């Protein structure tokens, strides 16, 4: 297939070589990542929490945008695979001196980078890097998108899918509600694509009109503006972080007002199924999108999500490095 048509994440044999987005990724590729993550969960319970798969490989964490948690979990994942990890806080170095993104990448390839983990405020930056590497005969260097603009955060989507599968076993009988600021959320987009690809019959988005993208229905979701309606009968509730800066943009009246309508409280959660699980990508704003009684309650699986996230990132890096 000509490179212009081919999914840039897959090689000529249809194997995953970069992870850029869950959109358009075939279900068997996603399922293989989730299956591979399962044995990696066990590594964390051992005396030596390391396997030698990526020994001698260099993973460059290229964070053009701040993130402590995602960068740390990628770093732990790479170290548990025995890779060398180099963290670059690009925001305060090269680019401020005027170097272009692709010049930075070429320089790091000259330092023998094997995997780039990229976070960037611009949607599409990881695609640009992957296309550049593919076009210049450096397809042995792999790219993992760790969040680009409002577009995509595929490893977060995958760890959400892993968590749902861990507790619910299957997707084909689930009702999943994603609640809050869907408009600015790359986490929500990735999860919606993943859930629909794996055959989830009902994915709902719940939030005020100002925080839902227009024509969001085209992603194959049902839209609810009333949270109580949206939570009825749900198996899974995914709360999104309300970014404080949204308050300034006149999208919302106040945090208190938001919590009244869209904060997850025990009485709203009672409308979901009794065995519902509550997820949150973190960091949480207690008392804004989620009540502490729910966040610390028995239905919350927010901390297991973090643990599974390391295993999922180990699976992604070891799969792409081998293709």
Partner 1 sequence: MPQPSQIPDAEATLVALAERMRPAVAFDAAFVGIYSGGAWIADRLAQMIPGEHPVGHIDVSFYRDDFARSGLKSGAKRSALPFDVEGATIILVDDVLYTGRSVRAAINELFDYGRPARVELAVLVDRGGRELPVEATYCGVRLAVARNLSLVLAKDEERLSFGVERAADA
Query: Interface with partner 1 by CB under 8 A: which residues?
Result: 15, 32, 35-36, 38-43, 46-48, 50-53, 318-319, 321-323
Question: CA-to-CA distance for 46 and 159, rounded, in angstroms?
Answer: 21
43/247 with CB nearer partner 1: 43
CB of 34 to partner 1, least distance (A): 11
22 in Cβ contact with 194 (< 8 Å) = yes
CB of 86 to partner 1, least distance (A): 20
45/245 with CB nearer partner 1: 45
Give the containing element (helix H, strand E) for 85: strand 84-88
Number of Cβ atoms within 10 Å of the Cβ of 210: 12
CB of 45 to partner 1, least distance (A): 10
- Write the secondary structure of 248-313 as one string of H (helix), E (strand) and C (coil): HHCCCCCHHHHHHHHCECHHHHCCCCCCCEEECCCCCCECCCECHHHHCCCCECHHHHHHHHHHHH
Write out the two tokens for 83. Answer: 């890779």
CB of 112 to partner 1, least distance (A): 15
Residues 6+ apart with CB under 8 A from 194: 22, 30, 157, 158, 160, 161
**286 forms bridges with which residues in the sheet?**
290
CB of 142 to partner 1, least distance (A): 12
48/110 with CB nearer partner 1: 48
Question: CA-to-CA distance for 112 and 121, rounded, in angstroms?
Answer: 25
Q: How far is CA 63 from the centre of its chain?
A: 15
174/321 with CB nearer partner 1: 321
53/301 with CB nearer partner 1: 53
39/287 with CB nearer partner 1: 39
CB of 74 to partner 1, least distance (A): 18
């Amino acid at each position: 297939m000509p490179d212009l048509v081919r999914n840039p994440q897959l090689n000529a044999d249809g194997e995953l070589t970069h992870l850029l987005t869950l959109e358009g990724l075939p279900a068997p590729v996603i399922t293989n990542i989730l299956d591979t993550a399962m044995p990696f969960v066990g590594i964390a319970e051992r005396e030596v929490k390391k396997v030698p798969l990526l020994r001698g490989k260099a993973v460059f964490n290229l964070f053009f945008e701040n993130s402590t948690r995602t960068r740390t979990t990628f770093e732990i994942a790479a170290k548990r695979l025995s890779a060398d990890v180099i963290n670059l806080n690009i925001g305060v170095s090269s680019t401020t001196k005027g170097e272009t993104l692709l010049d930075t990448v070429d320089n790091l390839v000259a330092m023998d980078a094997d995997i780039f983990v990229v976070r960037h405020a611009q949607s599409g930056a990881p695609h640009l890097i992957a296309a550049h590497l593919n076009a210049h005969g450096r397809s042995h260097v792999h790219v993992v998108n760790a969040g680009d603009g409002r577009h995509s955060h595929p490893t977060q989507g995958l760890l959400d899918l892993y968590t749902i599968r861990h507790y619910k076993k299957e997707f084909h009988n689930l009702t999943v509600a994603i609640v809050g600021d869907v408009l600015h959320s790359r986490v929500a987009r990735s999860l919606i694509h993943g859930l629909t690809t794996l055959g989830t019959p009902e994915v709902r988005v719940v939030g005020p009109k100002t925080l839902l993208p227009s024509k969001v229905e085209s992603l194959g979701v049902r839209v609810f503006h009333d949270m109580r309606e949206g939570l009825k009968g749900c198996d899974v509730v995914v709360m999104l972080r309300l970014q404080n800066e949204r308050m300034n943009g006149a999208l919302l009246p106040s945090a208190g007002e938001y919590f009244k309508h869209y904060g997850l409280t025990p009485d709203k959660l009672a409308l979901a199924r009794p065995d519902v699980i509550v997820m949150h990508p973190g960091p949480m704003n207690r008392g804004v999108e989620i009540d502490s009684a729910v966040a610390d309650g028995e239905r919350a699986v927010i901390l297991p999500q973090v643990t599974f996230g390391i295993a999922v990132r180990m699976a992604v890096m070891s799969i792409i490095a081998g293709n």
